[in-house]
Structure 1
Amino acid sequence: MRSGGGGVGSVREVMIISGLPATTSTERLDELDDELHVLVVSIIGGDHRLENYHSTTTLHESEGGSKTMVTESYVVDIPPGNSKEDTWTFAEAIIGWNLKSLATVSEEKVRNCEA
């Protein structure tokens, strides 16, 4: 954590270990609504080529209540020297990695609660 206590306005430095062409990302928590299950994050720095990246993650309970669907949407500028496809591929790879990590952590917590 670079600044803040984990609430809105906090800034964290993330070490990217996924093998993508980047090693760090600096992210700011812009919105956190526990009641509506909304998380909004902006990437404000790092050694990647994502410019003006803002993402919104929402959680939606399934009808039976046994599963949760996670939706993440984002906007990002295409930086000079990059194509739309390159930017999209990189952003999608990061989102995919983040969602897989979230699933792993969530599934582990469920297993621990059931034990």
Structure 2
Amino acid sequence: MGRKYMETQYHTHALSPNQCTSKVRQTIHAPLHLVWSVVRQFDNPQSYKRFVRSCDMRSGHGGAGSMRELTVVSGLPAGRSTERLDRLDDDLHVMVCSIIGGDHKLVNYKSIITLHEDDEGERGGGGACGTVVIESYVVDIPADSCEEDTCLFADTIIGCNLKSLAKIAEKMCFDELHF
């Protein structure tokens, strides 16, 4: 399956009234299998998500249906978040998570992450030279907010997480090549 098909298949969301959606992409200079090995660790999101202080598994062992309780770093408008892993597909490199509780305003939040080989040369030069990560979401717009602010908040968090993922995966790739 090509990236364009996967993007249409997984990152096109049907919205209910008072919901918003957005999509963030990040090109990473590391092979897909290496990037996926970090992303797929539902029980260890703090390995690249810098806003997560700790993760306690509430049920499951990191497969679909597993639930985790995240403790968030101070300074964010939340302290904890309860999340469920809805889908984990190692063949298609798809991960779907839902926030099902917590002390924050992200109600009915569902995110989808897909990884793709950079076979269209987004880095330049063509050929499979890295990985493109796409994360999209759908979420209710809080009563005291607007669509623009809700998307800005979520996009900022996701963007920071994906930049951190890129830095970590690229370092892992460099270390793999030089040892």
Taking structure 1 as the reference length, the TM-score comes to: 0.87
What SS is found at the alignment partner of 2:108? strand
State whether structure 2 residue 64 is matched by structure 1 residue 8.
Answer: yes
Q: 1:98 to 1:53 in 2, by over 3 A?
A: same
Return closer, same or farther for 1:18/1:36 CA change in 2, 3 Å cut-off.
Answer: farther
Q: 1:15 to 1:107 in 2, by over 3 A?
A: farther
Alignment match, 1:103: 166
**Unpaired segments ≥5 residues, structure 2:** 1-56, 120-126
Q: Which runs of 4+ in 1 moved over 6 A?
A: none
RMSD across aligned C-alpha pairs, in angstroms?
A: 1.7
Q: Distance in 1 between matches of 2:156 and 2:116?
A: 22
Deviates more, 1:48-57 or 1:90-99: 90-99
Query: How many residues align structurally?
Result: 115
Amino acid paired to 1:3: S
Matches within 5 A, 1:1-115: 1-17=57-73, 19-63=75-119, 64-114=127-177, 115=179
The structure with higher relative contact order (CA 8 Å, sep 6+) is 2
TM-score, L = length of structure 2: 0.58
More strand by share: 1
Cα deviation 1:27-81 (Å, max 9, x = unaligned): 1110111111111111111221001011111111012222100011111111222
Do the aligned residues in 2 keep the contact of 1:18 with 1:97 (CA within 8 Å)?
no
**CA distance in structure 2 between the aligned counterparts of 1:106 and 1:26, rounded to whole angstroms:** 26
> How far has the Cα of 1:18 moved from its partner?
7.4
Rg larger for = 2
